[in-house]
Amino acid sequence: MTVLLGTRELDQLRALVERRMGLVFHPHQLPMLIDAAQDTARHFRYADAQQLQNALSGLPLGAPEMDYLISRITVGESFFFRDGPQMDFLRREFLPTLIRRRRRQGKRTLRVWSAAAAAGQELYSVAMLLRELLPDVDEWNLHLLGTDINAESLRAAVEGSFSEWSMRAVDASQRDRHFLPHGGGGARVRPELQRMARFSILNLAGEDFPSMLADLHSFDLILCRNVFIYFDQQRVHAILSRIVRCLAPSGVLMLGASDVVAVNIEGLETLQRDGMCYYHLLDRSGASDLAPLVEMPASAAGRGPRGAEQASEARRLADARSDMAAQISGLADKHCWQDVVSMAERAALRGLRDDAPTCRHIAAAFGNLGRHEEALDWCEQGLVHDPTSAEAHFLHALLQVEAGKDGAALEAFRRTLFLAPGMLEAHHQLGLLQLRVGNRDKGLRSLRNALQLARRQAQEGTGEKRSDAARMLAVIENDLVIHDQEEKPRQP
Ligand SMILES: C[S@@+](CC[C@H](N)C(=O)[O-])C[C@H]1O[C@@H](n2cnc3c(N)ncnc32)[C@H](O)[C@@H]1O
């Protein structure tokens, strides 16, 4: 059966793909889009193009029809150690310097994000460099995350088997060290390498990052290569601005050689050398030009008046604190993390350390800026004042994951779910952690719990809660498809 696409349906499809995924189809690329649409309509037995169109416009990314279409319209070409000059720079300069700095600071943590990771070749290449540079690799807390919009590619990434074509720039000694032979030709990454990398679905054209929840924040290195050619300049700028907000102070962003884009973002410095260029986020962490939004009364600085004046001074102090707590809460709602931290650092906050929600907001702000020790300190302080806050236990769990304390994180997730058994994000994150530490059955069980909750909330919720649940549903369905080879995509 051939599904015919008229000019109108094709225009609609082209607009939908651009709106939802950011992908722009130029006239000479339209045959690819037409083939992909016809193939999708056939596969899901839609009678005509209009039916397919109607279905696609109501479906979230992650629905099987969407995944199917995406896998046919995205170009997932990638190979290990693509772009020699960039890889050499990482191997010889950037990673050794970063590692030295971290050792000096006594922090064995590194965070790397391969955005548009395809089947993981780029992220696994960085993982190999790190194994070669870190004799004590097992003592490090390495967060290597690969994301892509194409669920089929991510499944292949988790599987870890690659064709000879993908391995064309891997030399013999790297092959020996990091790969195992594979029955059908090509090779498979060794399990220790596989365990270092994590993959999850993310649409760069969506709005879901930076996000502490999705672990998309404070990266030391972001590789976002050879994807911007598919977007228009306005979208590229919007995506780049969000990506840059996911960099840690002094973090580095690398684009692909084909990504000819105007990177004109405040605070980002362009550096060029040896036939390649990269972008460096200036470290502004201690320096804030923000004035405190509320000046604390003089007594807060230790000059308290005596006698009758004390009562009114105490009242003023309490008012100022609650004013500041309200401002912090408002800034946190808007994700203005640097402003929250600036307030926390510049004001006399002794009183605020007694207020559990404020502690949680400040902890989230530090966490989102990659300052995990301060985040943990504030989070634990908040828990002292309100040990029954499921949100605080959840944040505690996420921070323990960051700190590489998997056992403590599992415990904190359990506490969260004891207090809030319906917290879908906690089931989801617990599932991902269980999978990462090798508890496959428990991990899949938690993901299925999350799936059920997301389905229910997407049907019964209202407003923002409903759209959040629909988005989570798509993410969880994809996680299940990526991690559970027996899981079948939903049929129409
Ligand atoms: C040519 S590959 C680049 C792979 C790798 N970064 C490299 O340079 O070798 C482009 C990747 O971008 C992904 N992609 C396209 N649109 C995307 C979007 N809106 N969000 C996330 N990934 C996207 C595709 O699925 C594909 O895997």
Q: Using H for helix, E for strand and C for coil, what is the string for 469-491? A: HHHHHHHHHHHHHHHCCCCCCCC
Residue 424 phi/psi, 5-degree rounding, is -65, -40
Residue 134 has pLDDT above 80, yes or no: yes
Residue 396 has pLDDT above 50, yes or no: yes
193 falls in which pLDDT band (50, 70, 90)?
A: very high
User: What confidence score (pLDDT) does residue 333 get?
Assistant: 86
User: What confidence score (pLDDT) does residue 394 get?
Assistant: 95
* Fold of the CATH domain 320-482: 1.25.40
User: What confidence score (pLDDT) does residue 308 get?
Assistant: 59
Alpha carbon of 345 to those of 48, 327, 396: distances in Å?
Answer: 61, 14, 21
Residue 78 CA: which ligand 1 atom is closest?
A: 9
User: Is residue 248 a contact partner of residue 220, using CB atoms and an 8 Å limit?
Assistant: yes
User: What confidence score (pLDDT) does residue 414 get?
Assistant: 92
Q: Please, what is the end-to-end C-alpha distance for the chain in angstroms?
A: 18
The closest of 67, 195, 71, 74 to 479, measured between CA atoms, is 67
At position 329, the amino acid (one-letter code) is: S
Residue 2 CA, ligand 1 centroid: distance in Å: 29
Residue 366 has pLDDT above 70, yes or no: yes
Q: What is the mean pLDDT of the chain?
A: 86
Residue 326 has pLDDT above 80, yes or no: yes
Cβ-in-10-Å burial (0-12, 13-18, 19+) of 486 comes to: exposed
**Encoded tokens for 229:** 């050619």
**Encoded tokens for 246:** 């996911």
Residue 481 contacts by C-beta under 8 Å, 6 or more apart in sequence?
Answer: 67, 151, 155, 487, 489
Task: Give the 3-state secondary structure of residue 336.
Answer: coil
Residue 223 CA: which ligand 1 atom is closest?
A: 6
**Rounded CA separation 477/201 (Å):** 10
**Rounded CA separation 284/250 (Å):** 9
User: What confidence score (pLDDT) does residue 306 get?
Assistant: 55
Give, using CA atoms, the residue closest to atom 9 of ligand 1.
78
User: What confidence score (pLDDT) does residue 319 get?
Assistant: 75
User: What confidence score (pLDDT) does residue 148 get?
Assistant: 96
User: What confidence score (pLDDT) does residue 298 get?
Assistant: 37
Task: Give the 3-state secondary structure of residue 113.
Answer: strand
User: What confidence score (pLDDT) does residue 292 get?
Assistant: 30
User: What confidence score (pLDDT) does residue 278 get?
Assistant: 87
Residue 294 has pLDDT above 50, yes or no: no
Helix (H) or strand (E) holding 139: none
pLDDT tens, position by position, 27-40: 888 999 999 999 99
Cβ-in-10-Å burial (0-12, 13-18, 19+) of 27 comes to: exposed
User: What confidence score (pLDDT) does residue 304 get?
Assistant: 40
Residue 380 contacts by C-beta under 8 Å, 6 or more apart in sequence?
Answer: 396
Residue 310 has pLDDT above 80, yes or no: no
User: What confidence score (pLDDT) does residue 60 get?
Assistant: 81
User: What confidence score (pLDDT) does residue 221 get?
Assistant: 97
**Rounded CA separation 93/273 (Å):** 12
Residue 178 has pLDDT above 60, yes or no: yes
Mean pLDDT over residues 395-421, rounded?
Answer: 91
User: What confidence score (pLDDT) does residue 372 get?
Assistant: 86
198 versus 182: the higher-pLDDT residue is 198
pLDDT tens, position by position, 265-288: 778 888 877 778 888 888 765 433
User: What confidence score (pLDDT) does residue 334 get?
Assistant: 82
**Rounded CA separation 123/80 (Å):** 9
**Rounded CA separation 277/230 (Å):** 20
User: What confidence score (pLDDT) does residue 301 get?
Assistant: 35
Mean pLDDT over residues 230-244, rounded?
Answer: 90
Residue 261 has pLDDT above 80, yes or no: no
Residue 345 phi/psi, 5-degree rounding, is -85, -30
Residue 314 has pLDDT above 50, yes or no: yes
130 falls in which pLDDT band (50, 70, 90)?
A: very high
Count the neighbouring beta carbons within 10 Å of the beta carbon of residue 95. 21
User: What confidence score (pLDDT) does residue 309 get?
Assistant: 66
Residue 77 CA, ligand 1 centroid: distance in Å: 8
User: Is residue 377 a contact partner of residue 319, using CB atoms and an 8 Å limit?
Assistant: no
Count the neighbouring beta carbons within 10 Å of the beta carbon of residue 131. 17
**Rounded CA separation 420/394 (Å):** 10
For ligand 1, mutation pick of 80, 227, 229 (most atoms within 8 Å of CB): 227
Its CATH architecture, for the domain 84-281, is: 3-Layer(aba) Sandwich (3.40)
Mean pLDDT over residues 319-348, rounded?
Answer: 82
Mean pLDDT over residues 380-396, rounded?
Answer: 90
**DSSP letter at 66?**
H
Q: Which residues line ligand 1 (CB under 6 A)?
A: 21-23, 74-78, 82, 116, 118, 122, 148-150, 153, 203-205, 225-227, 230, 256
467 falls in which pLDDT band (50, 70, 90)?
A: confident
Alpha carbon of 64 to those of 40, 55, 478, 492: distances in Å?
Answer: 10, 11, 9, 8
Residue 305 has pLDDT above 70, yes or no: no
The closest of 74, 75, 45 to 61, measured between CA atoms, is 74
232 versus 144: the higher-pLDDT residue is 144
Residue 150 CA: which ligand 1 atom is closest?
A: 25
Mean pLDDT over residues 58-74, rounded?
Answer: 89
Count the neighbouring beta carbons within 10 Å of the beta carbon of residue 432. 21
> Percentage of the chain with pLDDT > 90?
50
Q: Residue 454 half-sphere exposure, CB side, CA atoms within 13 Å?
A: 24
Residue 228 has pLDDT above 80, yes or no: yes
